[in-house]
Amino acid sequence: MRLLLVEDEPELSALIRNALERAGFAVDLVPDLAEADDHLALAGYDAIVLDLALPDGDGLSLLRRLRAGGSNTPVLVLTARDGPDDRVAGLDSGADDYLVKPFHMPELVARIRALLRRPGAVLGVTLSLGNLLLDTTTRQVRVDGLDIRLSVRETALLELLLRRQRHVVPREILEQNLYSFGAELGSNAMEVLVHRLRRKLAEANATLRVHTVRGVGYLLAGTE
């Protein structure tokens, strides 16, 4: 899952980005509306976290343009203003949720997950294949009912493959969803990640396998 974070306060934005990355999201951080527009033109996002008071304008203008253009990407608005009028304006402009600063990071992560679970959004609650279950809310992975330990990124990879199980998932799609825009990706970063996931699945006797489709991507299929 890839998020766009539009926030101009350096300290706060770093905290938010860290919290979201630890929760398994790939996060692109931009400090103003102009850069937000550039990123939105180039990449697809699963959700947007949008500050309202930005150096080059009001976040609500971006939100209105998005909705006018037909985008239904979930948007969570961050606001330092506490007046009810601002909240109403945000929701009228098409925000799906809002948080008033200061807020607790776990609250932000929980709200984002809730947005992504809404009808029409891509997230389901539990994904399964063979003897493996992945709970997309708690991030628990179980094989035959026993928890297995995966890193945040391994879990994110598994989730992407499970969502399109038995179909090839192109490598670029995986990279876009697992790593931030412009992240320094070693040439074999994806191979290393897939290798670790395969090893852990094998160690847990999971009845599924990650297949490499040379030159295209990866495919997850059951072994039974």
Question: Which positions lie near Ca ion, rule CB under 5 A?
Answer: 8, 51, 53
Q: Which is nearer to Ca ion, 8 or 21 (CB)?
A: 8
Residue facing Ca ion at closest CB distance: 53
Q: Which is nearer to Ca ion, 103 or 192 (CB)?
A: 103
Beta carbon of residue 175, minimum distance to Ca ion (angstroms, whole number): 30
182 — alpha (psi -120 to 50), left (phi > 0) or beta? Answer: left
- Asked if 132 and 207 count as a contact pair (C-beta separation under 8 A), the reply is yes
Q: Which is nearer to Ca ion, 80 or 91 (CB)?
A: 80
117: number of Cβ within 10 Å: 15
User: β-strand 47-51 against 2-6: which pairing, if any?
Assistant: parallel
6 DSSP β-pair partners: 30, 50
Beta carbon of residue 23, minimum distance to Ca ion (angstroms, whole number): 22
Beta carbon of residue 111, minimum distance to Ca ion (angstroms, whole number): 18
Beta carbon of residue 53, minimum distance to Ca ion (angstroms, whole number): 4
Distance CA 49, CA 154 (A): 24
- Asked if 4 and 40 count as a contact pair (C-beta separation under 8 A), the reply is yes
Q: Which is nearer to Ca ion, 56 or 107 (CB)?
A: 56
